[in-house]
Structure 1
């Protein structure tokens, strides 16, 4: 698979096949990828909690916000929920801020997940206090993101922005999740010679 193919397959996934769980070892392998990424001032201030334990996954699930544009959807139903989570932490004894490290780490983990046949969703809407309680996290750790992972169970379709320019994603009657994306011409600022 080329890097472009990995990028094109790396979509936010919100429905999973719970009958095909990920393992804690597979999640740890994904975290192992971030050891090789760049880090601002090489501080490497990110730490992680991984779990594929069904009871812990069930406790984490209601603490997450799933899709801001899908107002009436409370997240995946039973049987479609993530089977593993990576909780990304800032170790405040190493840095006051993650800088851009957490963005690089999220993308690295998600690309690794796609390569393994998994998918996931990067979630920042989190009940951080309750999640910290579940894992008895010391105060030095700040919860930054939760990566919900599993085997994808929903097709995601990337398409051009509609004529009204709306960026809101939606799920069609066919169950496919539609995600409008800006074209390259909108991303490039200034003149760009085309053949």
Structure 2
């Protein structure tokens, strides 16, 4: 079951914009992050939930979508996220969030996948512009955005031969090469 969730938890970048996600559903996924581990149990992460269509539209131009697909400018109308989560660090709580952000985002996305949705962790964000849009106070630092929606693309995992760059074929299928297990385990002792 866990393996199935992890295999389904891909970086989806195209969504069915007609399928909405409620703020309550997003909050339930954030609750999974709240219950997850935190370095020193400091819990410095905070979140902003965005499900309002107009605010989603305002955020969209400040997101970079897929570095390896340099010709692609991001999802078209009708394929855009219906929700975002701003992943934030409260600098009054901690200077360092260690690996809390990765743990939290994985928990959120596994919850989304289990509910039939999907998302993408996005680090290519105009932090200044989005922070202004979200009216964030000075002590809150924007770390990541998570785009959410009902996936409208097929993403397949393949074994990497030499190149780990993801790509799309002529049918629009998104291919993600992963290094073989034998390559990433250095030793068994």
Report the TM range for the smaller structure's normalisation. over 0.9
Q: State the distance in 1 between where 2:154 and 2:40 align.
A: 39
Please name the residue that 1:161 is paired with.
160
Indicate if the aligned counterparts of 2:34 and 2:104 stay in contact, CA closer than 8 A: no
Q: Over residues 101-131 of structure 1, what are the superposed CA-to-partner deviations in whole Å (9 max), with x where a residue is unaligned?
A: 0010010001011001001000001001110
Report the TM-score, using the length of structure 2 for normalisation.
0.98
Please name the residue that 1:95 is paired with.
94
Q: State the distance in 1 between where 2:26 and 2:118 align.
A: 12
Please name the residue that 1:59 is paired with.
58
Q: Over residues 138-174 of structure 1, what are the superposed CA-to-partner deviations in whole Å (9 max), with x where a residue is unaligned?
A: 0000000100000000000111113xx1111111001
Give ranges in structure 1 of 5+ residues lacking alignment: none
Please name the residue that 1:144 is paired with.
143
Indicate if the aligned counterparts of 2:48 and 2:86 stay in contact, CA closer than 8 A: yes
Please name the residue that 1:127 is paired with.
126
Give ranges in structure 2 of 5+ residues lacking alignment: none
Aligned-pair CA distance for 1:191: 4.8
SS at match of 1:20: coil
Please name the residue that 2:172 is paired with.
175
Report the TM-score, using the length of structure 1 for normalisation.
0.95
SS at match of 1:30: helix
Q: C-alpha root-mean-square deviation of aligned residues, in Å?
A: 0.9
SS at match of 2:81: coil
Q: State the distance in 1 between where 2:126 and 2:145 align.
A: 11
Aligned residues: 189
Q: State the distance in 1 between where 2:62 and 2:84 align.
A: 12
Please name the residue that 1:47 is paired with.
46
Aligned-pair CA distance for 1:22: 1.0
Q: State the distance in 2 between where 1:177 and 1:35 align.
A: 31
Aligned-pair CA distance for 1:24: 1.1
> After alignment, is 27-36 or 88-97 more displaced?
27-36
Q: Over residues 76-116 of structure 1, what are the superposed CA-to-partner deviations in whole Å (9 max), with x where a residue is unaligned?
A: 00000000000000000000011110010010001011001
| Structure 1: 4+ residue segments shifted above 6 A | none
Please name the residue that 2:75 is paired with.
76
Please name the residue that 1:4 is paired with.
3
Q: State the distance in 2 between where 1:191 and 1:124 align.
A: 34
Q: State the distance in 1 between where 2:18 and 2:33 align.
A: 28
> After alignment, is 142-151 or 17-26 more displaced?
17-26
